[in-house]
Structures are given as C-alpha cells and as structure tokens.
Structure 1
Amino acid sequence: MEGPLSVFGDRTTGEAIRSQNIMAAASIANIVKSSLGPVGLDKMLVDDIGDVTITNDGATILKLLEVEHPAAKVLCELAELQDKEVGDGTTSVVIIAAELLKNADELVKQKIHPTSVISGYRLACKNSDFFSNMVVDAVLAVKYTDSRGQPRYPVNSVNVLKAHGRSQIESMLISGYALNCVVGSQGMPKRIVNAKIACLDFSLQKTKMKLGVQVVITDPEKLDQIRQRESDITKERIQKILATGANVILTTGGIDDMCLKYFVEAGAMAVRRVLKRDLKRIAKASGATILSTLANLEGEETFEATMLGQAEEVVQERICDDELILIKKIGLDLINGKPRDNKQAGVFEPTIVKVKSLKFATEAAITILRIDDLIKLHPESKDDKRGGYEDAVHSGALDD
C-alpha cells in the first residue's frame, strides 16, 4: 500500500497567503503611483550592468523591476497586457487592481467570504458604465475651494445609502443629502420648500429632575405644579426654536409625543434618531450650527436664527420598502473651481483605456483574491538532476 503524497516545499494557506498577496500588490502600486497623471514624476532604474532608464511609463517600470513574489508578478503581467491591448493606462490599471485588493481584504476581515466579494466585483464591473458617471457627479457635488484657492474633494462627504427592493441600475444620485429616517408623526408635512434647518444633538423630551435630587412636598397641589413646570420648560424650548423660523428639526436623540404635538401644530417637520455623522454633514453643507444644549454660559436657554441652516427643499419620499428624508439642492461654493469642458479645452482620452483598465484590474484582483494556498517547491538537488545518458550508464542499460 502506497503512502500519502508528499509535497517537498513550503506551504502557506488561509488568511496568511491572502495578506501576503495583497501586501505584495500594494507594494507594486506604491512604486508606480507617483508617476500617474500629468504631474507625475519619473523613475530612474539602473540594471545590474549599469544601464540607466528614466521613464514614467508603468509598463516599462514594471518590466525592468526584478519581481519575485508571484502575486506581484500578476500585476506586472497585467500592465504588460494593458500596454499590448490599448497602449495606455498601464499605471492606472495596476493602482486600480491594488485598491480593489485592499478593499477586498477589509471585507474579508469582516467575515465576508471571498467568493461573495468576487461576485460583487464582477457585478460592479458589469455596471461600471452606469456608475462611473454617477461617481464623477457625486465627487463634483462635494467639491469646494479652500482658503488658499485650491479645489478640494472630500470623498468621505459622499453618503452611500442602501435601500432594499430594487436593482443596482435603479440607483440614483441625489442633489443634496438623504437620510434613512422618517418624520416623527404622520401629521407632519412631507415636503417643505425654503427649509430652515435646526440641528440638535440632544433629545426633545419632557424635562425631568436629575437623579439624586430630592424634593420634600407637604402639599399635594405642589406636586401638580412641579409636573406642570416640567411641561412648561419643554414647551418653552420648542417655542424658542420655532420662533426663529425653523421648520425642519433634526435631532440625534428622541422626541416624545408632547413635543411632536407642538411641531405638528406649527406645521414643522421633525426627524429623530439622526446619525451624528449625517447631522454633521448636513450642518456643514447647509450652514447650520449643531447645538448640544440650548443653555449658554450663564445658564439661560436661547436659540437664534443664525444657528439655522438653509436648503431649497426637504422632502420625504418612499424608495422601495423604506422612506427617506431628502434634503435637495444644498448650495456649494464652486466659484473658483468649476469643472471645465475638456472638449473645448482640447483634452481627449479614449473610452477604451478606462474600460479595459477596469476590466483587467477587476480580473487581476479576482485572480489574486481566489488564492488561498501557496506551495513553493524546494529546488532540486544535483543528484536529482542527473539523468538521461548518465543514468543509463550507471544502471547498465547500455551494456546490452
């Protein structure tokens, strides 16, 4: 009976090999990323005999590098394939593939199976033409000019909201901000034009005495007065907010039924349980001030109209099974950073360069991501290499 098959080499499996492959791909991307674009820098490469090559072409750089890691070699071959197929975009395709692998590694660490990530990448690549324009429009929507006159693109300000019930092709770009929330009461308006937004980081609920406070009451009527005063304090807070003209109230905390009644009577829209992250973005875009309390340093509670944000429209819409709050057409400063018409400027770039880059980078990332086992065989010894005529002489096969 024969024994089990033996593999004479070093074997690496599981998460370890996946991390090694992604690190190798990231290292290759870090080498060429500074040469990307019109302001990219050149690389000087010197081979073993002293020949000097200065270039910023990704395919040439990777061709001259002595790469040993197998995953890194995949990206080198990827750049060579892009160069043969299109002739341009060799640096971009390597950087895109490395970023896809980095994002896949984060998803795998969150216990998402690699095959699920691969399916998502293939689906995204299939719909890349649809989403590419949407991504560009989303980034341009958050563009602003800093104090030095430089355009900035805060990508983290783009909110990606998921809703069940429709396909990816039915995704939409909102000219504003979307919240996965609903109004606090059905009696509130679902659409407000020329909205004035109050951003609050506290709950609007009936005021109660804090823990540890003891009140000794000898007259039962005094107890009713205390309860009435608690209700009056809450009512005064809401009246101060509404008196400034606020008609949209966003709060990270809760809103009890008594407070909702006052907002319904005033015809205002109140939204509770807004995420702190969303509230900060809305306040920044609309010019509102986030308040954690109405009390000033003297302990007096005030609310001024300068603390409100402005928006052209706030509307609640039902998308699939959920209802969303959409804050549309928030104004941004694009005076010193407007996008130009590249056709009029004479700047052209073939579509096939981007299409091929996305497809090749996705397939390369999928190829590396599917690997969960690496076997590196030991080199053969000199005794194992002896063969042919020499083996025949030693065995006596030529004596016949």
Structure 2
Amino acid sequence: MAQQQQPIFILPEGTNRLLGKDAQRNNILAGKVLAETVRTTLGPKGMDKMLVDGLGDIVVTNDGVTILKEMDIDHPAAKMLVEVAKTQEDEVGDGTTTAVIIAGELLKKSESLLDMDIHPTIIAMGYRQAAEKAQQILEDISIKEIDTDMLNKVAMTAMTGKGTEKAREPLAKLIVTAVEQVADGEEVDTDHIKIEKKDGAVVEDSELVQGVIIDKERVHPGMPAELENAKIALLNSALEVKETEVDAEIRITDPNQMQAFIEQEENMVKNMVKDISDAGANVLFCQKGIDDLAQHYLSKEGIMAVRRVKKSDIEKLSRATGATVVTNLDDLSADDLGEAGKVTEQKVSGEDMIFVEECAEPKAVTLLVRGSTKHVVDEIGRAVEDAIGVVAATVEDGEVVAGGGAPEIAMSKLLKDYAESISGREQLAVTAFAESLEIVPKTLAENAGLDSIDSLVDLRASHETSPYMGLDVFTGDVTDMKEAGVIEPKRVKKQAIQSASEAAEMILRIDDVIASSASPQDAAGMDPSQMGGMPPMM
C-alpha cells in the first residue's frame, strides 16, 4: 500500500485566493461598479454626490476625482481605477470622470470577449492597438488655431455643470488672464496661481488680484493697515533673539549686569529692525516668528509685518513682487526688496487678509473665489481648478478638440473601419474598444434625460459630414460643437484614453488574486466563502 503524502501548504493559513476566471470576473465587476458610481456626474446635466466622512464632514461635488478620493474604497482592482482618475487630475486637471467610465466600459466589453474564449492577452493586445490608433485619429481631428477667445471657450466648457453657470463668462476671463499672466513662454506652472476661497458673497464677486493674497493679519495693531508704493522684504528666518547653540549658564552678581544683559538683547532686536528699515523696506513677510519686542520696534518704524507665512506663499510673493528671499538679515539690501502698488489689510468674510496688489509684472497671481456658503464655494473652487488645468494644457499644447462627445464618436467610427483591416482575434478587441468610446456621448444623453439610442444614431449619421458634430444636451440636438463653442483640450482626451486602456489591460491580465489574511475585509471586499486557500499539493 502506497504511503499517502503529507499535503504541503505554501501560503499561511487564512490567506484568501481567487484563481483564473473568478479573479477576472471579480476585478471586472469592481471596475464596472466604480464606473457606474461616477457615471451620473458626467456632463453639464450631471448630478452631484453628497459624501459624508466618519466625522460627519460633508462634501457635495460632481468632480470625479474628488468623489473617488473621498470614498473609502477597499477593492484592489477598484483602487487601480482611482489611480486612473488621480493621474488624469495631475496631468490635465479635468476629464477624470471620462477616464474612469471609459475604463469601466472597456472592462465590461472584455467580459463578453472572455465568454467567447478569447485569451485576455489577445484582448489586451487589441486594446493597445486600438488606443494607439485612437491617438492618431485624435491628432487628425484636433483644432490648432488657439487664441484668447478659444481659451475662454475651453474654460467655460470645463466649468459647465459645476455650479458656476451664472458666472461662467466672467470667471473664464479671470482664469484665462491668470494663466496668460503666469505663463513662461509655452510653459505654465499652475502652482503660481493661488486660489483663495471665501464664502459670504455671490460668485460674481470673485476677482483676480495682480499679486498675492495672504490669509494672515498684521502682527501688531499699531502697524499701518494700508501702504502705497510698498517696498517688500521677504525673510525666512525668525525675527527674535537667537538662543545659544549650546546650553549656557550666565551668573549675574549685580543687578546692573542684569539690566545690561536685557539692554543688550533689546539692542540686538533694535538692530535687526534697523537693518530692515535701512534697506528701505516698509512691508515685511516673515516665514518664522516675530517676537513682541520686534513687533514694537517695527510698528514704531511704520513697517507692516506678517509672521509665519507659508513657504509656498513666500515663493509666490517673490515671483509676484520680484523680491529675493533673505535668510540672514545682515545681507538685506535695497536690491533684495520687491515692489507692489499697494499692500492693505482687508476684512473678507469676517477674517483679516493681507492683499499685495498692483504688482508691475507679477509671475504669480491670486484668484479670490467667492460663494454664498462653504459647500458652494468649495465646489466653485474645484471647478476653477479644473478650468485652470485645461486652459494651461491648451496654452502648452496648442491643440483642442470639439466637446459634446464629438471626438469619441469620430474615434469610434474610424476605429471600426480600422478593425476590418486587422486579421486575427484582435479585430474583436479593437471593435469592442471602438464601441466602449461611445459610452461618453451615451452617458451625456442619459444624464440629460434624452434617449441615448436615438442620440447615438443621430451622432453617427452626422459624422459622415463633419468630425465636430456633438450632442447639445440643453436642446437634445446634434450640433457643430466648434461653432457652438464647446471646446476641450486635446490632452484631456489623449490622457483619458491612455490611462483607461492601460488600466483595463492591467486588470485583464490578472488571473490570480492572493490576499493575506491581514488585509481589511478578507481580500478587500471579496467573500472568503468563494475563495479557497492554496490547494494542497499532493
């Protein structure tokens, strides 16, 4: 009788595992569910989501990446789609919902291909081919004449449906002016546009400041609250008596010595303030602290001072005013000072803020965004950030496409033609990719309460004549989006297709999910009863 071999376990007890088609189905389902969650927020008629965290804080938004960041997502495949949205946000600033729903639709279409026994690698290869071809089509249908009017249309398109309808035009003008102001040739660093959000006013009260707003107040009430022709010093060290580097003990045997010691400290602070005054500065922004004695002497000299200013704000002040950030006060000279037409302390929404305005050629500006309540102003702030991102992308690339689902229909149509030239099973994957792109105009129609099938049929027919025909969700008609002024940067579509296809390919290639028992909710939301441990090796 043969001796029975002891089973060998190579994974620790409690490890959960999904194999083959089970793993693929589970991951595809997670992707589909996530895409369905954000799908209703797409387009001008998209709805909002209310997200409440564990502390009871509320966020009301229809910004795809904000929704996904605020949601507490456990499933590993779903987390990969959240990464798609984050990448889209970092690279372009808009189109996060588009990227996620395209990825979700690619996964959904791959399910029927898997049912036909097409290998996941073949599907992934077909998707990759289709994505490359889609980028070429996008290049062919892009519009390359960019002017300020086109940039305004790009900004307005990005803000449509995000609570900024009433003030789209004035806001768009502010955003385009801000981007053009900080543009360095064809490069735009959006970090140089500061967004300050304050509630208690209407959206139309938002303004662009040719300089920087600092959310701080003067350190001493005796200091001037308003200065014209300001000479600004930026200091990133503390304005106080320095502690000795080593522990020191001072023995005082005479009260006069104590008095001399105090006077010496006072003189040190006095000399620091004298250095600032001698350099000609009448405004000081300090990154560290300013002690009480220094505050007294600064106010006597008529210098407005602000302390504990954030490093990022100090950098923006430097770019806006032309000032040099000084570490050692002994080195401060008139050449290090920046200039501003006026510096004032103003009350905004019950809080004191310092306005550094009328800078000659500021390379950093501030958008003061207003709204009636905190939640409203937060959502308007997100819309403005998206618009700044897309305007910056347009300035850098110099290419735009029509909106309203037009590029997706154009790519879908030409990809279907391209699929017929491919032999092998990849043809089916390319066709599935082409059909997946139609999810964007289909969702726009559904969210606007239109019949999605009728809208798609009309769109396909209209694309026989022009690649700019898209869906006007307000009238329900198929319209020339270039004429209607619904314009998006090419980079939004390019990045969305790239991220979505790569994420779908990666998820499709997974055929084994091994989750340690320590992971939250056994295997991140997967039912342990459906997952066996590692099978014993006999």
The one-letter code matched in structure 2 to 1:234 is V
Alpha-carbon offset, residue 151 of structure 1: 4.1
- C-alpha separation in 1, matches of 2:295 and 2:108: 63
- C-alpha separation in 2, matches of 1:261 and 1:68: 66
- TM-score (norm. length: structure 2): 0.42
Deviations along 1:91-129, whole A, 9 cap, x unmatched?
x9xxx9xxx9xxxxxxxxxxxxxxxxxxx9732567544
- Tell me which of 208, 218, 224 is aligned to 1:173: 208
The one-letter code matched in structure 2 to 1:68 is L
Alpha-carbon offset, residue 181 of structure 1: 1.0
Q: Which residue of 1 aligns with 2:106?
A: 68
Q: Which residue of 1 aligns with 2:190?
A: 155
The one-letter code matched in structure 1 to 2:345 is Q
- Tell me which of 344, 350, 360 is aligned to 1:331: 360
Alpha-carbon offset, residue 198 of structure 1: 0.6
Q: Which residue of 2 aligns with 1:123?
A: 163
1:164 aligns with 2:188: no
1:135 aligns with 2:164: no
Distance 1:198 1:72, change over 3 A: farther
- C-alpha separation in 2, matches of 1:195 and 1:187: 17
Alpha-carbon offset, residue 164 of structure 1: 3.1
The one-letter code matched in structure 1 to 2:106 is E
| Contact 2:320–2:362 (8 Å) recurs in 1 | no
| Contact 1:317–1:324 (8 Å) recurs in 2 | yes
- C-alpha separation in 1, matches of 2:340 and 2:254: 51
- Tell me which of 245, 250, 260 is aligned to 1:225: 260
Distance 1:209 1:155, change over 3 A: same
- Tell me which of 324, 327, 333 is aligned to 1:304: 333
The one-letter code matched in structure 2 to 1:317 is Q
The one-letter code matched in structure 1 to 2:179 is V
Identity, % of aligned positions: 23
- C-alpha separation in 1, matches of 2:195 and 2:109: 32
The one-letter code matched in structure 1 to 2:172 is S
Distance 1:72 1:129, change over 3 A: farther
- C-alpha separation in 2, matches of 1:167 and 1:18: 38
Alpha-carbon offset, residue 238 of structure 1: 0.5
| Contact 1:287–1:309 (8 Å) recurs in 2 | yes
Alpha-carbon offset, residue 23 of structure 1: 5.7
Q: Which residue of 2 aligns with 1:214?
A: 249
Distance 1:289 1:23, change over 3 A: closer
Q: Which residue of 2 aligns with 1:188?
A: 223
| Contact 1:25–1:71 (8 Å) recurs in 2 | no
Q: Which moved more, 1:206-215 or 1:321-330?
A: 206-215
Could you list the runs of 5+ residues in structure 2 that have no partner in the other structure?
Answer: 1-21, 34-71, 93-101, 112-129, 135-140, 144-149, 364-394, 396-481, 494-524, 527-538
- C-alpha separation in 2, matches of 1:131 and 1:325: 22
Q: Which residue of 2 aligns with 1:198?
A: 233
Q: Which residue of 2 aligns with 1:285?
A: 320
- C-alpha separation in 2, matches of 1:258 and 1:219: 24
SS of aligned partner of 1:330: coil
Q: Which residue of 2 aligns with 1:59?
A: none
**How many residues of Structure 1 are paired with residues of Structure 2 in the alignment?**
267
- C-alpha separation in 2, matches of 1:315 and 1:71: 59
- C-alpha separation in 2, matches of 1:201 and 1:155: 24
Could you list the runs of 5+ residues in structure 1 that have no partner in the other structure?
Answer: 1-7, 34-62, 81-86, 101-119, 145-149, 295-300, 340-348, 361-373, 376-400
| Contact 1:201–1:291 (8 Å) recurs in 2 | yes
Higher relative contact order structure (alpha carbons within 8 Å, sequence separation ≥ 6)? 2
- C-alpha separation in 2, matches of 1:72 and 1:143: 43
- C-alpha separation in 2, matches of 1:72 and 1:316: 60
| Contact 1:315–1:327 (8 Å) recurs in 2 | yes
| Contact 1:163–1:320 (8 Å) recurs in 2 | yes
| Contact 2:228–2:342 (8 Å) recurs in 1 | yes
- C-alpha separation in 2, matches of 1:183 and 1:327: 13
Q: Which residue of 2 aligns with 1:272?
A: 307
Q: How does 1:29-108 map to 2 (within 5 A)?
A: 68-70=106-108
Larger Rg computed on CA atoms: 1
- C-alpha separation in 1, matches of 2:223 and 2:252: 40
The one-letter code matched in structure 2 to 1:158 is I
Distance 1:226 1:254, change over 3 A: same
Alpha-carbon offset, residue 197 of structure 1: 0.5
- C-alpha separation in 1, matches of 2:361 and 2:109: 44
Distance 1:71 1:171, change over 3 A: farther
Q: Which residue of 1 aligns with 2:351?
A: 322
